[in-house]
Structure formats: structure tokens, C-alpha cells
């Protein structure tokens, strides 16, 4: 996050103060600032009501996306690398009957607002004008000790929003903190209630965990607390149980993977069909589903790479996912302490093969076959594939070569 983002958030606080309202930075940005990390975004908490926030900044620069819950989005005056700031009125919340949203909110004091938040390290406020921390929940102490602890009674916090079950694990893993014993016990006991949360919200947490460099610990902790097998019950199959340590090593060995690559590594013991089912259940996008399923389906194609034809290799590496496939194979071989020859073979092949040769324009198309008198049918597609393989294998180089090849394939048999 750029300095200009913090400057804009500070200006939001300053303008609210100028209008006689109390305002502070709140939540995760305070935690990140105290850890010396760049904040991902800035949230502001204030005594101003949503209507008063809109009066201060004007309706053109504000979005009332969560006004019923006391939340207003304030837009920057210029575009670029400055994100909007979420401004929330200090509040307490009613019962969470669905485990996701409060039935009502009531505006209140900073201290009461802090006590309804999830974890102590996320429950602090920061005054950017006077450079001071306001900590009503012991967040500074837990931050210094490296502990993720629910505010108050852990089961109460988890009942309010069941996604906190997964967030507890994410914070402990990505920050490399210890999960407080009472908080961990609440997560373990309530893991079965996670499905009340929407698949989209669960998927967002998984994505944040799997792309982080501590992804192995996130997965391990999720498994030990019973969360991951609730999300993906297929991981209870004996294939995964037997390969658990190898899967975890593979994930740890990935270097800055995309979510799709990390997910394929996690689900490597599942069949492509089962992987597709899991992806759809998590409401992943079509592109994400296709990439993950393709990686799982082809993860072992390169183990005996010397037996593949040039055409098979070129078809494989013409795919946009092929670089990730090579990363996956590399990590798997390292995790198994196996020979890295397949990876070195592929790297040498790619080094000596110009990109255009991986996926050259076809020598013949379906229209060309029809012009030659072929009728669409079972042999039509087979013939086009045969021509393409011969081209990729270097056996054909011109359209004339391809036409002669097709005539030889056709012979005198009717099409």
C-alpha cells in the first residue's frame, strides 16, 4: 500500500475531527502498522453516524453500501493507487441468528466497539494525528507475544460469524503466530458449523491462505482443527491421508504460486472429476476451475517425459498453464526426493524450441478438408489431429505436404 493511501486515510480522520467527531484507524491496518508491515487497506472508525459522514464528504464522494450497519465508503479525490476508505460508526451488534450477519446494530463508544471485534490483534485503534494506540482488549500484548486470541469468550465470537473459524487459522498461519489454546478449542469444537458461511466467503479465505508463504502451516492447522475436511470432505479419502506429508511438503516447496497452482498441489490426490466437483462447490470461477482441474489431470504427464513425442510435448507446453505444471512437477519431485531429470529435460526442450514452434498455425483446417472432398464424420477430426501431430513432429512443413499426407491417409476409401 502506497504512502498516498495512508495520507488519504489520515485526511479522512482529520476532516472528521474538524467536524467535531472522534475518528481513528481501526482493525487490520493498525495491526499491520504495529508490525511494521504495509497495510493492505485502511479502515476508519468514528463517532459520526453514516448520515454525518456523508455530510462531511458529500454524497458524490461517498457510497452508502453498508449504511444499515453503520458503514460508508469514502472515495479519494483522485484515481490511481489510492483506494477508497471504509468509514464505520463505532457500534455494538445484535444476535447473529444466521452465523453471518447481526440482526441489528447500535452506535456506541470506541471501547464497546473494540469488544465486538474478532481477535485482540484486530481490535485496536490508532490515532494517526497524535500517533497513539488505543487498546481496550490486550491486542498490543498479544501482538508482542505472537498470539491470535479471540476477544472475550471465543465461542461467542465464533457464533457471531462462523467465518472467524477459518480466519483464526489464517491469521495464525500467515502471521506465523500461535493460536491461543481456548480459541483453538472453540474452532475445533465448532468446525462442523462452518458450512453456514457462503462458499464464496470460504473460498476467499482459502485463497489468502494458499498464496501465502506459510501455506503449509495454514493447511496443516486447518486439517488438525477439522476445518479443511469440512470444506473438502474428499480429503478424508485414504489416498490423501496416506500422502498427507508429501502433499504438505509439495505445497511448502512452491515459490509464490497462484491460487490455482497451490490448490492443485493440495488436491493432487483427487481425480480430475472430483477436483472439478470441489471447485464448483466452492463457487470458483470457470477459469479457476478449468486451470486447477487441468493441472491435477496432467500432473504426472511429465514423469516419463522421454517417452513423449515432440507433438505431445508441444501440445502440452502450448497451454498457458504449462509453466505452472512444470512448477508443480518440480515441487512434487523435490517432495518425493526423486530424480529431477524430467524437469531438466523439459527446461532444455523449452530452451531450444522457439515459442512459435510450440503452437504454429495449422497447415490444414476443417474448411481445407471439405474443399478436398471430405465429409464431416468420425474420420474428419481424426485426420486433422493426425496432420497436426505430423506437423508438430516436424514431418510436415508446408500446406502441400499436408494435402499429400491427407490424400495418403484417405486412399481410395470413402469419407
Domain 1-145: top CATH class: alpha beta
At 182-237, the pLDDT tens digits run 999 999 999 999 999 999 999 999 999 999 999 999 999 999 999 999 999 999 99
pLDDT at site 414: 43
At 338-391, the pLDDT tens digits run 999 999 999 999 999 999 999 999 999 989 888 888 888 888 889 999 999 999
2 band by pLDDT with thresholds 50, 70 and 90 = low
CB-CB contact of 90 with 45 (8 Å): yes
- When pLDDT is averaged across residues 85-107 and rounded to a whole number, the result is 67
412 band by pLDDT with thresholds 50, 70 and 90 = very low
pLDDT at site 105: 57
Pairing of strands 43-46, 132-134: unpaired
DSSP letter assigned to residue 399: H
Helices and strands per DSSP (H, E), number in the chain: 22, 11
Q: What's the maximum distance between 2 C-alpha atoms anywhere in the chain?
A: 92
Spatial neighbors of 370 by CB under 8 A, at least 6 apart, are: 376
Domain 151-231: top CATH class: mainly alpha
At 275-293, the pLDDT tens digits run 999 999 999 999 999 999 9
Q: What is the mean pLDDT of the chain?
A: 92
For residue 266, report the phi and psi dihedrals to the nearest 5 degrees. -70, -40
pLDDT at site 100: 54
DSSP per-residue letters across 369-390: HHHTT--SSHHHHHHHHHHHHH
CB-CB contact of 243 with 269 (8 Å): yes
99 band by pLDDT with thresholds 50, 70 and 90 = very low
- When pLDDT is averaged across residues 53-72 and rounded to a whole number, the result is 88
pLDDT at site 70: 84
At 303-350, the pLDDT tens digits run 999 899 999 999 999 999 999 999 999 999 999 999 999 999 999 999
CB-CB contact of 66 with 157 (8 Å): no
97 band by pLDDT with thresholds 50, 70 and 90 = low
Domain range list for the chain: 1-145, 151-231, 238-359, 366-410
What CA–CA distance (Å, rounded) separates 263 from 267?
6
Amino acid at each position: 500500500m502506497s504512502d498516498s493511501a495512508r495520507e488519504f486515510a489520515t485526511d479522512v480522520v482529520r476532516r472528521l475531527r474538524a467536524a467535531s467527531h472522534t475518528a481513528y484507524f481501526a482493525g487490520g491496518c493498525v495491526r499491520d502498522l504495529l508490525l511494521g508491515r504495509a497495510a493492505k487497506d485502511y479502515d476508519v472508525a468514528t463517532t459520526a453516524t453514516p448520515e454525518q459522514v456523508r455530510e462531511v464528504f458529500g454524497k458524490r464522494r461517498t457510497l452508502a453500501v453498508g449504511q444499515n450497519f453503520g458503514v460508508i465508503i469514502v472515495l479519494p479525490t483522485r484515481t490511481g493507487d489510492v483506494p477508497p476508505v471504509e468509514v464505520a460508526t463505532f457500534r455494538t451488534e445484535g444476535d447473529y441468528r444466521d452465523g453471518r450477519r447481526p440482526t441489528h446494530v447500535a452506535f456506541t463508544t470506541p471501547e464497546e466497539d473494540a469488544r465486538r471485534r474478532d481477535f485482540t490483534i484486530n481490535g485496536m485503534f490508532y490515532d494517526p494525528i497524535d500517533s497513539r494506540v488505543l487498546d481496550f482488549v490486550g491486542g498490543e500484548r498479544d501482538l508482542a507475544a505472537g498470539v491470535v486470541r479471540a476477544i472475550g469468550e471465543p465461542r461467542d465470537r465464533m457464533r457471531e460469524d462462523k467465518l472467524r473459524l477459518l480466519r483464526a487459522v489464517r491469521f495464525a498461519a500467515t502471521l506465523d503466530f500461535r493460536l491461543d489454546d481456548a480459541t483453538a478449542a472453540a474452532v475445533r469444537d465448532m468446525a462442523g458449523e462452518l458450512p453456514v458461511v457462503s462458499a464464496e466467503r470460504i473460498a476467499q479465505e482459502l485463497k489468502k491462505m494458499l498464496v501465502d508463504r506459510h501455506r503449509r502451516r495454514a493447511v496443516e492447522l486447518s486439517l488438525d482443527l477439522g476445518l479443511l475436511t469440512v470444506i473438502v470432505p474428499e480429503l478424508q479419502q485414504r489416498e490423501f491421508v496416506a500422502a498427507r506429508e508429501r502433499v504438505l511438503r509439495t505445497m511448502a516447496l512452491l515459490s509464490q504460486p497462484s491460487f490455482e497452482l497451490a490448490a492443485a498441489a493440495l488436491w493432487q490426490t483427487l481425480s480430475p472429476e472430483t477436483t472439478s466437483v470441489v471447485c464448483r462447490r466452492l463457487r470458483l470461477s470457470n477459469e479457476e476451475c478449468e486451470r486447477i482441474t487441468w493441472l491435477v489431470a496432467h500432473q504426472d504427464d511429465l514423469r516419463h517425459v522421454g517417452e513423449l513425442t515432440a507433438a505431445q510435448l508441444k501440445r502440452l507446453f502450448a497451454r498457458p498453464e504449462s509453466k505452472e505444471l512444470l512448477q508443480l512437477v518440480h515441487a512434487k519431485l523435490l517432495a518425493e526426493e526423486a530424480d529431477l531429470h524430467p524437469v531438466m529435460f523439459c527446461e532444455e526442450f523449452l530452451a531450444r524450441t522457439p515459442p512459435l514452434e510450440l503452437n504454429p498455425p495449422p497447415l490444414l483446417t476443417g474448411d481445407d478438408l471439405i474443399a478436398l472432398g471430405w465429409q464431416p464424420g468420425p474420420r474428419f477430426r481424426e485426420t486433422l489431429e493426425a496432420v497436426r501431430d505430423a506437423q508438430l513432429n516436424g514431418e510436415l512443413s508446408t500446406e502441400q505436404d499436408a494435402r499429400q499426407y491427407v490424400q495418403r491417409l484417405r486412399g481410395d476409401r470413402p469419407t
